[in-house]
Structure 1
Amino acid sequence: MKLLMLCREPRLYSCQRLKESAEDNGHQIDILDPNRCLLKLSKNAPHFELYYQVNSKSEPYLLPDYDAIIPRFGSTSTRMGCAVLRHFRTKNIFCLNDDVAFLKARDKWLSLQLLTEQGIAVPNSALSGAEFSATQAILQIQSPTILKTLHGSQGIGVILAENRKSAVSIMETLTQADVPLLMQDFIQEAQGTDIRCFVIGDKVVATMQRIGQEDEFRANFHRGGSAEKIQLTEQEKVLALKATKCLGLDVAGVDLIRSKQGLLVLEVNASPGLEMIEKTSGIDIALQMIVHIEKQFKR
């Protein structure tokens, strides 16, 4: 097969592992930055064209069709990345997470709404408009309070406000800068840990428990967190699969937390990193992703 990976940083561990696995299985794979793409729509055939420019001085060239697309772009490339995914979806080319599912997962508030709609428990959350009093809004959520930007990954854009006064100050400052925030209960009993479930298709293929650094409430690898193996209960597996299906994803990193109220879904990541979970679990997730793509062509 001829595969395309959409990725801004091809040297990243996840991109390199997927490239190696694809080539080891006999596939050709290109790695392109979606922000260097130009999409063209025309009245006459071909109606959809996609051009690529290697650098600002190079001549753009028309990209061929591919057999499958692997999206690995970050939150800053979501708009263009999803536009490129939509281009391939309209041509009936398989995308390992299409643009519709990707956009659902990348919007933190929308994803929480969709999960709640399907009866999936999430932390108590609130979103207020720019003209709604921050002082009144914060009363809807427990203190300490988690504040999150609507778009972001790797723990970036997540703030712990220790008291309501600081929460209001942060909200007013960022609202003034036109940065909307959602508010969530801080689950103190989790003590800076969460569970990452890596889902491919209809199976949880790997898991780990992430542990934040001392005095760090975020357990993300990119925030200096560590990880250890963990055995999921059947209930946790079912929940991870349900959350993935709810957003229409083929591949997802589902973050769970064990709270006094029971299991909660913190987030569903449409482009989960491979490094920490592969090294912790010892499972070749990159290969399983390539095999999953291959299976789509054997149906």
Structure 2
Amino acid sequence: MKLLMLCREPNLYSCRRLKMTAENAGHKIDILDPNRFLLKIQENRPHFALYYQPNQGTPYLLPDYDAVIPRFGTQSTKMGCSVLTHLAAKNIPCLNNPASFALARDKWLSLQALAAANIAVPVTVFAGQDFQAGSAVEKVSSPTILKTLNGSQGIGVILADRSQSAVSIMETLTLSHIPVLLQNFIGEAGVSDIRCFVIGDKVVATMQRSGQKGEFRANCHRGGITQQITLSYDEKLIAVRAAQALGLDVAGVDLIQSKKGLLVLEVNASPGLEMIEKTSGIDVATQMIAYLEKKIAGL
């Protein structure tokens, strides 16, 4: 089969692993930057055409693919999802459909979807730009976590130790027209969370992440340390339900332990493979390609 991976940085570990795995399975795979696409809607069939312009090269019409794997970052979400929508209109299977991918990229909308599915999440508020920051901060506990709606790898996540600090940060972000949500800080979790890698209806790999001293974020890109962890069936079910609530085939679901049990922090539609493969010892890439093969076959 001929596969397409949408990625701006083909040398990333995840892209290289998926490319190698796909080729070992006998497939051909192109890795293309979504920001170099031109999408065309035309009168004649096929109505949806895609052109690609390589670096310092001449644009060319892309062939049809058997399936697409989205691996683009937050800065490419709008164009990347537009490319996915174009491909979906051509009935090309996507390993995470465009609507679900876009939903997962918006922290507030994804939390709304999780809560609507009766999945426990931290207390969170999102206020309009004309709502007073002080009144908004009163609706959550202190210390307070502030998050921009789009962000990954811990970027755009701020811890305010005092309510006054939270108000000041929120006012600054609002003045800069950056939407921000406020969230209860789960102090009892320390600086640890749990990453579950979900494919279909299964958690295929897990790891616990712990932040370095002086760092409240557990993300590996912020220097977080990982270790193996074993979850119960019910705990894994929370992660699977979270991925399904957003309609995702593949997801990295982040859980945090609170006094009331596990909460879902957020769901990543393009989770990295490197640390979870190295920590768990599980070949996640092979399972992703196998799932995609089944999806193409309609199984």
What is the TM-score when the length of structure 2 is the normalising length? Answer: 0.98
Amino acid at match of 2:203: V
1:45 positional shift? 2.4
Match of 1:179 in 2: 178
Q: In the alignment, does 2:99 pair up with 1:100?
A: yes
Match of 1:69 in 2: 68
Contact 2:3 2:65 (8 Å CA) reproduced: yes
Match of 1:167 in 2: 166
Match of 2:8 in 1: 8
Amino acid at match of 1:34: P
Instruction: Kindly provide the CA deviation profile for residues 194-234 of structure 1, in whole angstroms up to 9, marking residues without a partner as x.
Output: 00000001111000001111111110010010100000011
1:188 positional shift? 0.4
Match of 2:203 in 1: 204
Match of 2:258 in 1: 259
Count of aligned pairs = 298
1:235 positional shift? 1.4
Cα distance between partner residues in 2 of 1:248 and 1:297: 17
Amino acid at match of 1:283: I
3-state secondary structure, aligned to 1:197? strand
1:15-34 correspondence to structure 2 within 5 Å: 15-34=15-34
1:1-299 correspondence to structure 2 within 5 Å: 1-55=1-55, 57-298=56-297, 299=299
Cα distance between partner residues in 1 of 2:46 and 2:188: 57
Amino acid at match of 1:25: A
3-state secondary structure, aligned to 2:183? strand
Unpaired runs of 5+ residues, structure 2, are: none
1:288 positional shift? 0.7
Cα RMSD after superposing both structures: 0.7
Cα distance between partner residues in 1 of 2:104 and 2:296: 26
Cα distance between partner residues in 2 of 1:69 and 1:46: 18
Cα distance between partner residues in 1 of 2:280 and 2:12: 19
Identity of matched residues, %: 67
What is the TM-score when the length of structure 1 is the normalising length? Answer: 0.98
Cα distance between partner residues in 1 of 2:48 and 2:255: 40
3-state secondary structure, aligned to 1:210? strand
Structure 1 consecutive aligned stretches of length 4 or more whose deviation exceeds 6 Å: none
Instruction: Kindly provide the CA deviation profile for residues 83-127 of structure 1, in whole angstroms up to 9, marking residues without a partner as x.
Output: 000011111111000101101100100000010011000000000
Unpaired runs of 5+ residues, structure 1, are: none
Cα distance between partner residues in 2 of 1:296 and 1:209: 30
1:12 positional shift? 0.5
Cα distance between partner residues in 2 of 1:236 and 1:39: 42
1:46 positional shift? 2.7
Cα distance between partner residues in 1 of 2:210 and 2:22: 31
3-state secondary structure, aligned to 2:138? helix
Amino acid at match of 1:67: D
Cα distance between partner residues in 2 of 1:221 and 1:203: 23
Amino acid at match of 1:19: K
Amino acid at match of 1:248: G
3-state secondary structure, aligned to 2:91? coil
1:47 positional shift? 1.2
Cα distance between partner residues in 2 of 1:210 and 1:31: 30
1:44 positional shift? 2.5
1:62 positional shift? 0.4
